[in-house]
Amino acid sequence: MELGEVVVVAPDSPQSGMGHAITINNPLRLDQVEIHSGIMGWQCSGTPVDCVKIAIDKILHRKPDLCVSGINHGSNSSINVIYSGTMSAAMEGAIEGIPSVGFSLLDYSHQADLSAARHYVKIVAENILRDGLPQGSLLNVNIPKLSLKDIKGVKICRQAMAKWEEEFDERLDPNKRKYFWLTGKFQNYDKGEDTDVWALKNGYISVVPVQFDFTAHHAIPFLNNWKF
Amino acid sequence: MELGEVVVVAPDSPQSGMGHAITINNPLRLDQVEIHSGIMGWQCSGTPVDCVKIAIDKILHRKPDLCVSGINHGSNSSINVIYSGTMSAAMEGAIEGIPSVGFSLLDYSHQADLSAARHYVKIVAENILRDGLPQGSLLNVNIPKLSLKDIKGVKICRQAMAKWEEEFDERLDPNKRKYFWLTGKFQNYDKGEDTDVWALKNGYISVVPVQFDFTAHHAIPFLNNWKF
């Protein structure tokens, strides 16, 4: 509120792992709701990315000055940027040409201490509103589970090369038919000290600039040697 | 079959626009089914990315030599790579360290002519099996709606900077409540002749190397000037 007028548009159900999904085969609902006493927002039946699209077309009728996604509970560092509905919503904002940022806090608790987040979200937002962001980029900001005074600062990072090692948890339903729960362990193979995973582990807030041009430019000369 | 043993794992329902979604809040089902007379495959209740994960852990019990996703009906060129379940499944294969490729045909018809696709899918697969792919990359291959003899060749491309201009189609249900269908027009702002959109429009198959390191490395110096 200190920085401008805030319009909240959020999915009406949990969207963990929703990635950049959009709703094509079903229609969407959009309803105004009271989120706190006197503070209104919009709930949408779609995905986080749907929320950004419908907010522009049906609520704002223009591009906002800033698109803030989150705050997400749980890390969206490293490869999680790909699976994250929070980060995909920010990416959608950036595709629309809106300065965009996603925030995540490394604390799953609904009672999480948001004081450090509140402090740094404002600073990041102020920086973006003042300077904008380089063309074709958005920000992925992750905040460690630390009190404001214990946070060492902010590091500009690259995405760590890490991944999830999946193991599906296999069970039998009452009819003796198998079903599977996705589980996994996060494995960081990246020893770099310029990564988001390193920063978070060492008490820093990580800021990774993210792009939606996925072209692996370095691979083009290799492929130009192929015969078709 | 000429190149090796094929194991098919596919979602059991349409997955258009599913992006890199994974199924966290529900369990998955996995069943063996006959896809053509005598040819068996697996159907999974999850997303395209879930299919890749469960195939490795519960069907193959190892990494395959090649992960082929598709063939998708409709273009996954340009920004569509982000929304595409087909391309996200290939990306998941690449994250797992498997040489991976997604194929799309610019023809939505179920009676589409697949002869050109059949010819070029084999050549691309042979190239990948022989040479591998540069670290951290996968391929996004799009095939124009042309007969084999009318295709001019294959172009190695970058992702065109294009996007969808959304317009939600607003309707009233029988109870007079509003609902919205996502629609949009594809807008290409990219005049480059080295893009996938250009190649497809000019009768070529487009091959874009894609990466899952989303770091916008060019934006790091800009951000390092910020005060926190």
Q: How confident is the model at residue B33 (pLDDT cuts 50, 70, 90)?
A: very high
- Give the CATH class of A9-160+193-223: alpha beta
pLDDT higher than 90, residue A75 = yes
Quick one: pLDDT at residue B166?
Answer: 82
To test the contact with chain A by mutation, choose from B223, B225, B227 the residue with the greatest count of A C-beta atoms within 10 A, namely: B223
Query: CATH: 3.40.1210.10, 3.40.30.10, 2.30.42.10, 3.40.50.2000. Which one for B9-223?
Result: 3.40.1210.10
Burial of B226 (0-12, 13-18, 19+ CB in 10 A): middle
Task: Please state the rounded mean pLDDT for residues B15-32.
Answer: 96
Residues of chain B in contact with residue A224, where contact means CB-CB under 8 angstroms, are: 156
What's chain B's Rg over C-alpha atoms?
19
Range scoring the smallest mean pLDDT among A37-46, A61-70, A121-130, B131-140 = A37-46
Averaged pLDDT score across all residues of chain B: 96
Alpha carbon distance, N-terminus to C-terminus of chain B: 58
User: Are B17 and A21 in contact (CB < 8 Å)?
Assistant: yes
CB pairs under 8 A between A and B: 228
In B, minimum Cα distance to A92 occurs at: B82
What are the extents of the domains in chain B?
Answer: 9-223
List the alpha helices (DSSP H) in chain A.
Answer: 48-54, 80-83, 85-95, 115-131, 196-201, 220-223
Q: In what order do the strands lie in the sheet with B204-211?
A: B67-73, B100-105, B137-143, B204-211, B153-156
Q: Residue B189 is encoded by which pair of tokens?
A: 């702002």
Measured between CA atoms, the residue of chain A closest to residue B165 is A96
* ipTM of this complex prediction, to 2 decimal places: 0.95
Q: What percent of chain A has pLDDT over 70?
A: 100
A49 CB neighbours in chain B (<8 A) are 19
pTM of the model as a whole: 0.96
Measured between beta carbons, which residues in chain A are less than 8 angstroms from residue B123?
228
* B50/A182 Cβ within 8 A: yes
- pLDDT at position A1 over 60: no
Q: Indicate left, alpha or beta for A171 from its phi (over 0: left) and psi (-120 to 50: alpha).
A: beta
